[in-house]
Amino acid sequence: MIDGMELTSAQKAAAILVAIGKPAAGRLLKFFKQEELKTLIEGARKLKTIPQSELEKIVAEFEEEFAEGAGLLDSADTMDTLLTETLSTDQMDAILGREQSSAVLEETPPWPAIEAAEPQEVAALLSREHPQTVAYVVSNLASSASAKILLNLPREYRGEVVKRMMSLGTVTPTAQRMIENQLRAIFLKSSASKASKGGQAKVVGLLNELDKAELDQILDDLAEAGASDLDAIRGQLFSFEDIVHLTQKARVALFDGLDTDLVTNALRDSDPVLAEAVLSSIGARTRRMIESELAQGSDLVSAADISKARREIAARAIRMAGEGAFALPGAAQAAA
What residue spans define the domains of the chain? 9-72, 77-196, 233-335
Beta bridge partners, 70, equal none
Same-fold call for 77-196 versus 233-335: yes
Q: pTM here?
A: 0.41
CA distance 7 to 154: 35
* Dist CA 55 CA 71 (whole Å): 21
Architecture, CATH, for domain 77-196: Orthogonal Bundle (1.10)
Question: Is the dihedral angle over the CA atoms 255, 243, 266, 219 positive or is it negative?
Answer: positive
User: What burial class does residue 160 get, using C-beta atoms within 10 Å of its C-beta: 0-12 exposed, 13-18 middle, 19+ buried?
Assistant: middle
Tell me the C-alpha distance between 248 and 281, whole Å: 7
Assigned CATH for 233-335:
1.10.220.30
The pLDDT profile of the chain, 336 residues, written as one tens digit per residue, is 444 447 777 778 777 777 766 666 666 676 667 677 777 777 776 666 667 777 777 777 766 665 544 443 343 444 455 445 544 555 445 544 444 444 444 556 778 878 888 888 888 888 888 888 888 888 888 888 888 889 999 888 888 888 888 887 777 777 777 777 777 766 655 544 444 455 556 666 667 777 777 777 777 777 777 766 677 777 778 888 999 999 999 999 999 999 999 999 999 999 999 999 999 999 999 999 999 999 988 778 898 899 899 989 998 998 898 888 988 887 555 444
CB 11 within 8 A of CB 61: no
